[in-house]
Structure formats: structure tokens, C-alpha cells
């Protein structure tokens, strides 16, 4: 079973994974194809509509050109009648062309679509009446059909054109004569002086757009329809009328009330995608489901300079393209089951061929374990299992021989182990003694280091300053240093950090402390000279120690609110009484001590004036570089923030808050460096 099941499952999983990946790849390809299809269909509709909708404006421009060239005269209604009659013959989309003048005259030719054509006109002789005459097959007037009062200047198409002062479109309306949706494009006419002469208009039949959409080959059940921004249907690829018949008069059909589920549900989903159709200014693609079948939709705006503003919507069901992929999936499932059966049979046969000799070896091993050393496995095969049988027989013989000499070997090994144990015991005693000696030396070094730190009583005796300090080494002996010396009215503060930590670093720290105190006892106040002497002393001692230790060191002198600083160390934090922070960079005030014999040219000095309540905070990088479990450093910014927040307290309180905040940041992380902080506050 161990051989058969993994083998069968591997084959089954491989075939199944390939089938799944094939299905997913095909599905992605179908989606991409559907997107390309909807995009191309949209582009084709867009191109057709632009050409279709530009036709009336093109006719208007041709008429205006004929008028400007003198080929037509707006006062000669006979020539205009013949021109309009000819234009209607050119396009099935146009059923009515007309002209209204600023004097109130009107001429128009209309085709009712049933073979009847009429001319409607109002001139100086007929005003205020508009006469309607039937036209024969040559466009000539025959009999008078109707006479009624009419003034084109008060008609909506005329007033809207005057307001726009350019070519424009009327709202879509339902033609009372033809029972179809129409829209009227209009064009104003001006003379050479820019005076309005009249307005040209054309009735455009929109049902031909639906005819075009129905002829489009989108997909098996794909749909395309055109909406106004109000969601009223302009045209669609279905046979549904874009208006509703009522008892009084027909009304426009809103896509949300369509009897076509595809149009209705697509519009409802579109209105969920966007709150207002007026927000769609660029192509929009989305998917949704109808009866658990994914639909891919593309919505594109259609606008022109005359103010037309429609939306082209194309919906393609994913299922139209997924039929073949679904069939392939069923074939894949069948192949998986067939592969599973074949793999099971082959696995069983293979397992028996492999396991039979292994079972023979197992039985032989059990017999040898019971002491039957003469057992030999008879297996005549040249493959790896045959080699295993030969190795097994050889191993059994060698094991028999080894057992016969085992007792003698055990006695020899026992004697060797006893001797080694005695040697280990002796080495262990020596190591204990060495550890005790080293521990005593470290205790002495640690005690010396703690002894030279300033005592609380020394700090309290300094008038005018509130001072608190803290130093904690990461090992028994640390490399951090701070000291405070008081002589007359001058307070000398030293702070430094020896590279690394441990015994060597502690020794270098003690060297620096001794050198600084010696110079202070000698009343040496020249910073440059002090740092130069300290550097030379430590440099030569470090060389004699054959060590590479060096340290940062800054020395400050305080006297009656005036502080002078020299030497290179971490940035000094100056805190004003209000808690405002100032930072003093010491990088250009000195050079690492013990790194080079002559550093006098790098030493300089700067000064800070403290008022009542002001103070300074000194520290080593064990604080700013302290890390938490996420390897994030404590940082100088956080140190400045906690100092500013607690500055109204005493120096000891500020120091304790800083140490508490650092420990909280470190948490359970290991501490890697000595931690030192010194707070001085001017009373």
C-alpha cells in the first residue's frame, strides 16, 4: 500500500492539476477574447454611429455652402423644395428636411415612408398660415392637403438653436407620423455680417440604429444597446420597441423597465457600479451573473461637439465561449479516472515485484536476530535488490565474526575509556580553578569600575546643578565611562565609550578616567591640550597591550550656566526649561581617542549658555542603538521625546524615565552594549 497509494495519487494529482490549469488558462483566454470582442464591437458601433449621425450635419453644411455660393436662395422656396426633396431621396435615415427664417418663413419636405411626400411652407403670401401640399414622383406640388397657423420662430428646435448659437440636437422624441424614435439636428445660418438668417433642421430616424445593431454578429446570445444618460433606450439589438404605448400618448422606454432580461439586469448592475450614469466619462468594463452565468459588459460614452451624449453598452455571456472548454474539462475528468485505474493496476504489479524479495530479506533478518547465523538469502537478480541480497549475506557473515571478537574489544575499549575519563577529570579540575581565578579578576575589575564612578554625595554637593547618572555594563566589565569633577566653581564632565566591552574595554576606560582626573588635579583647563595628552597616553598604552581598542570621548566644563564642549562623542542634547530640544553634533569637535598618536589638529570647541531650568543630557550608543525583537533601534528621536516629556521633573526622575523607556523598548531582546545616561539640570 505504501508503494501503490503514493504512485497512484501522484499520477492522479498530476493529471488533475494539468486539467485544472488547462481549464483556468482557457477561461482566462476566453475572458481576454470576450474583452477584445466587446471592445471591437463597441468600436464598430461607435464608428457607424458617428458616420450615421454626421449625415444630417453634412447635409446642412452642403446646403449652407450652396447658399453662400449663390446656387441656392433662401427666398426661392421652389429651388429649396427641389433641393430638400433630392436630399431625402439620398438617405433612408432622413424623413424631414426644413428651413425656418428669421422673418417667420418656412419651407420643408417630408417623406411619410408609405410612398407619400409633402411640402410644407409659409411665405409672405401665406403668412400666418403654413400650407401643406402633396408631391408627385418628380417632387412637384399637386393638391393642398392642409392649412394651419404656424410660426417657426417659436418652435422648440428654433429657440434651442438660437440659444446654442451652433449646430445642436433636439431631445429624442416619438414621431407621431411614423411611430419611431427621432432626433432633430439643427444648424443656424448667418450672413456675411454675422446676422442670423434662419435655422436648418432634419428629422433623423433612430430605428435604423437598431437595425444595424441587430445585424451585428456579437456572439450566440450577446446584446448591444444604446442609452441616454437617463437610462432611456435609444436603440438595441433586440426586437423590443424603445417606447411604450399608453392610452394618451406613447412614452420612452427606460432600460430598467425593459422586458428583455439582458438589458434590464445589465442596466441595474451598471447603476450599482456607478451611482449616476453621468459619471461615466471613459470606457467601463465589469462582470456580473445572470442565472449563475458570468456576463462580461463594456460601457463606452458616445459624444460629439454638437452636444450628443449617449452610452454604448455591449454584453457578452461567458458561456458563449466556454462550451468547448467545458467539453474539454469533461474529457479531462474521464482521462483522470482512466489514468487512476491504469495506475492502480500497474502500481499493484510493480509493488509485488519490488516487495517480494524485500519480504524475503525481512524474514532472513528476523531469523538471524534469533541466532540462526547460517541463514542465507537465495535471490538471483542483477538489479539493486539482488545487490542488496548479496550485501545482506555478507553483512550477516561479518556480524557473526564481529560478535565472536566483541568481548575482547569491549575490555580494551573499557580500559581506554577509564584512562580518558581520568584525563578529563584532571582537565575539569584545572578549568574550575582557572574559572575561579578569572571570575575573581573580573570581580575586581568590576568593583574598581564601580568605585571610580561619581558618588551620589559628590553630585549633591555641586551647587547650581541637579545631576543624575546611570551606567550598566552588558558584561561583568563595561566600556562606557562618565565622570564628574568639581573644582572651585568649575564642574568638569567627561563621557566616553570604548569600542566593544569586556575586560580590555574596562581597562581602557579606567585609563581615560585616571588621565582626566590627573589633568583636573593639575588644574589644566585647555581642552585641546587635555584631549591631546589623554589621547597620547591611551594610544601608547593600547599599543603596548597589542590591542586595537579606541574610544569616543567628550569633555564639558560648566561654570555659572556656561558650558564649553570639546571632543568627539554622540550628539549632546540641550533641553530648555520649556522642554524644547536642541542637538549639538560633536563630530567636528574631536577624533576617536587611541586611534592615532596625533589628533591635536582635529580638536575644537563649542559653547552653550544655560538659563534657569535648562540642562543637558549625555548618553552612549548603548541607548540609541538598543534593539527590540524586531531589530528596531531605540533611536535618538525617541530619546529626545521622552526627555522633553519628563523635563519638568528632577534629574533623577528624568534619568529613571529614560532607563525605564529603553528597557520597555528592548523587552525580552538580548542587550548587546553598555548603557549609560547622564542628566544635568541648571537650577
- The CATH number linked to 124 is 3.30.450.20
Print the SS3 string covering 268-291.
Answer: HHHHHHCCCHHHCCCCEEEEEEEC
From 172, 205, 238, give the residue that closes a domain. Answer: 205
The pLDDT score that the predictor gives to residue 653 is 94
How far is 531 from 537, CA to CA, in rounded Å? 10
What would the mean pLDDT of 493-507 be, rounded to a whole number?
A: 82
Does some domain include residue 164?
Answer: yes
What would the mean pLDDT of 175-182 be, rounded to a whole number?
A: 77
What would the mean pLDDT of 516-540 be, rounded to a whole number?
A: 85
Looking at the chain, the whole-number percentage of residues with pLDDT higher than 90 is: 37
Does some domain include residue 287?
Answer: no
For residue 423, the cross-strand partners are none
Looking at the chain, the whole-number percentage of residues with pLDDT higher than 70 is: 87
Does some domain include residue 17?
Answer: no
Indicate the number of domains in the chain.
Answer: 2
The pLDDT score that the predictor gives to residue 638 is 94
Place 264 in a pLDDT band, splitting at 50, 70 and 90: very high
- On whether the CB atoms of residues 313 and 227 are closer than 8 A, the answer is yes
Residue 609 above 90 pLDDT? yes
Place 233 in a pLDDT band, splitting at 50, 70 and 90: very high
What residues contact residue 381 under an 8 Å CB cut-off, 6+ apart?
A: 357, 389
Does some domain include residue 279?
Answer: no
The pLDDT score that the predictor gives to residue 118 is 93
DSSP conformational letter for 670: P
Residue 367 above 80 pLDDT? no
The pLDDT score that the predictor gives to residue 145 is 92
Does some domain include residue 263?
Answer: no
The pLDDT score that the predictor gives to residue 558 is 92
What would the mean pLDDT of 251-274 be, rounded to a whole number?
A: 92
Print the SS3 string covering 515-534.
Answer: HHHHHHHCCCCCHHHHHHHH
From 205, 240, 258, give the residue that closes a domain. Answer: 205
Residue 441 above 60 pLDDT? no
How far is 64 from 424, CA to CA, in rounded Å? 118
What would the mean pLDDT of 101-105 be, rounded to a whole number?
A: 93
Going by C-alpha positions, the residue among 118, 101, 99 that lies closest to residue 110 is 118
Residue 255 above 80 pLDDT? yes
Residue 647 above 90 pLDDT? yes
From 184, 205, 226, give the residue that closes a domain. Answer: 205
Please provide the average confidence, as pLDDT, over all residues in the chain.
Answer: 84
Of 158-162, 204-208, 287-291, 325-329, give the lowest mean pLDDT range.
325-329
Phi, psi of 493 (to 5 degrees): -115, 130
Residue 677: cis peptide before it, omega within 30 degrees of 0: no
The pLDDT score that the predictor gives to residue 426 is 82
How far is 497 from 479, CA to CA, in rounded Å? 6
Neighbours of 578 (CB within 10 A): 11
Does some domain include residue 614?
Answer: yes
Higher pLDDT, 20 or 316: 316
Of 17-31, 167-181, 480-494, 571-585, give the lowest mean pLDDT range.
17-31
Residue 445 above 60 pLDDT? no
Place 436 in a pLDDT band, splitting at 50, 70 and 90: low
Does some domain include residue 318?
Answer: no
Q: What is the CATH number of the domain that holds 600?
A: 3.60.40.10
For residue 581, the cross-strand partners are 575
Place 187 in a pLDDT band, splitting at 50, 70 and 90: very high
Question: From residue 119, how far is each of 105, 107, 110 by CA, in Å?
Answer: 13, 7, 6
Higher pLDDT, 34 or 79: 79
Boundaries of domain holding 531: 454-682
Residue 244 above 60 pLDDT? yes
Does some domain include residue 619?
Answer: yes
Neighbours of 495 (CB within 10 A): 26
Amino acid at each position: 500500500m505504501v508503494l501503490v497509494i503514493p504512485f497512484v495519487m501522484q499520477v492522479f494529482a498530476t493529471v488533475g492539476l494539468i486539467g485544472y490549469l488547462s481549464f483556468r488558462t482557457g477561461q482566462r483566454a476566453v475572458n481576454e477574447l470576450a474583452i477584445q470582442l466587446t471592445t471591437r464591437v463597441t468600436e464598430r458601433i461607435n464608428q457607424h454611429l458617428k458616420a450615421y449621425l454626421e449625415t444630417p450635419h453634412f447635409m446642412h453644411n452642403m446646403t449652407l455652402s450652396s447658399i453662400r455660393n449663390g446656387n441656392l436662395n433662401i427666398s426661392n422656396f421652389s429651388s429649396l423644395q427641389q433641393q430638400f426633396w433630392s436630399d431625402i431621396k439620398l438617405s433612408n435615415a432622413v424623413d424631414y428636411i426644413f428651413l425656418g427664417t428669421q422673418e417667420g418663413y418656412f419651407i420643408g419636405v417630408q417623406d411619410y415612408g408609405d410612398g407619400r411626400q409633402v411640402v410644407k411652407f409659409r411665405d409672405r403670401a401665406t403668412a400666418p398660415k403654413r400650407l401643406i401640399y402633396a408631391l408627385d414622383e418628380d417632387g412637384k406640388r399637386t393638391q393642398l392637403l392642409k392649412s394651419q397657423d404656424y410660426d417657426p420662430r417659436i418652435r422648440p428646435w428654433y429657440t434651442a438653436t438660437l440659444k446654442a448659437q451652433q449646430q445642436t440636437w433636439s431631445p429624442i422624441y416619438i414621431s407621431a407620423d411614423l411611430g419611431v424614435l427621432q432626433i432633430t439636428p439643427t444648424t443656424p445660418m448667418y450672413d456675411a455680417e454675422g446676422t442670423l438668417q434662419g435655422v436648418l433642421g432634419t428629422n433623423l430616424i433612430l430605428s435604423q440604429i437598431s437595425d444595424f445593431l441587430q445585424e451585428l454578429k456579437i456572439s450566440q446570445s450577446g446584446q448591444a444597446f444604446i442609452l441616454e444618460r437617463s437610462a432611456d433606450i435609444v436603440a438595441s439589438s433586440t426586437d423590443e420597441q424603445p417606447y411604450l404605448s399608453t392610452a394618451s400618448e406613447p412614452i420612452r422606454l427606460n432600460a430598467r423597465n425593459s422586458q428583455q432580461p439582458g438589458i434590464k439586469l445589465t442596466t441595474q448592475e451598471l447603476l450599482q457600479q456607478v451611482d449616476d450614469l453621468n459619471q461615466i466619462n471613459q470606457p467601463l468594463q465589469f462582470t456580473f451573473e445572470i442565472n449563475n452565468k458570468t456576463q462580461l459588459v463594456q460601457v463606452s460614452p458616445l459624444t460629439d461637439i454638437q452636444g450628443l451624449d449617449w452610452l454604448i453598452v455591449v454584453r457578452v455571456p461567458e458561456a458563449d465561449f466556454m462550451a468547448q472548454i467545458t467539453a474539454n474539462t469533461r474529457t479531462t475528468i474521464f482521462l483522470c479516472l482512466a489514468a487512476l485505474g491504469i495506475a492502480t493496476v500497474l502500481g499493484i504489479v510493480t509493488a509485488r515485484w519490488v516487495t517480494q524479495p524485500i519480504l524475503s530479506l525481512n524474514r532472513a533478518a528476523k531469523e538471524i536476530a534469533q541466532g540462526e547465523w547460517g541463514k542465507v538469502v537465495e535471490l538471483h537478480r542483477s538489479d539493486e535488490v539482488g545487490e542488496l541480497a548479496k550485501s545482506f549475506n555478507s553483512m550477516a557473515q561479518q556480524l557473526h565474526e564481529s560478535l565472536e571478537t566483541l568481548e575482547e574489544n569491549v575490555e580494551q575499549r573499557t580500559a581506554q575509556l577509564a584512562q580518558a575519563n581520568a584525563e578529563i577529570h584532571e582537565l575539569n579540575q584545572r578549568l574550575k580553578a582557572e574559572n575561579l581565578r578569572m571570575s575573581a579578576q573580573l570581580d575586581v575589575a568590576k568593583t574598581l569600575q564601580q568605585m571610580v564612578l561619581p558618588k551620589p554625595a559628590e553630585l549633591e554637593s555641586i551647587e547650581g546643578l541637579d545631576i543624575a547618572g546611570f551606567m550598566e555594563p552588558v558584561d561583568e566589565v563595561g566600556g562606557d565611562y562618565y565622570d564628574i569633577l568639581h573644582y572651585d566653581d568649575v564642574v568638569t564632565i567627561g563621557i566616553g565609550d570604548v569600542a566593544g566591552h569586556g575586560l580590555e574595554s574596562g581597562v581602557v576606560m579606567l585609563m581615560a578616567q585616571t588621565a582626566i582626573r590627573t589633568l583636573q588635579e593639575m588644574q589644566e583647563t585647555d581642552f585641546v591640550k587635555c584631549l591631546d595628552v589623554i589621547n597620547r597616553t591611551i594610544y601608547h598604552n593600547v599599543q603596548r597591550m597589542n590591542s586595537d581598542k579606541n574610544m569616543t570621548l567628550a569633555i564639558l566644563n560648566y561654570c555659572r550656566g556656561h558650558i564649553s564642549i570639546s571632543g568627539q562623542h554622540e550628539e549632546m542634547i540641550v533641553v530648555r526649561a520649556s522642554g524644547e530640544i536642541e542637538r549639538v553634533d560633536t563630530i567636528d569637535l574631536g577624533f576617536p581617542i587611541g586611534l592615532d598618536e596625533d589628533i591635536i589638529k582635529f580638536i575644537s570647541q563649542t559653547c552653550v549658555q544655560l538659563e534657569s531650568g535648562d540642562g543637558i543630557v549625555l548618553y552612549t550608543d548603548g541607548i540609541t542603538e538598543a534593539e527590540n525583537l524586531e531589530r528596531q533601534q531605540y533611536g535618538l528621536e525617541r530619546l529626545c521625546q521622552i526627555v522633553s516629556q519628563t523635563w519638568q521633573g528632577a534629574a533623577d526622575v528624568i534619568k529613571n524615565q529614560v532607563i525605564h523607556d529603553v528597557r520597555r523598548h528592548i523587552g525580552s531582546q538580548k542587550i548587546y552594549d553598555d548603557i549609560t545616561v547622564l542628566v544635568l539640570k541648571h537650577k
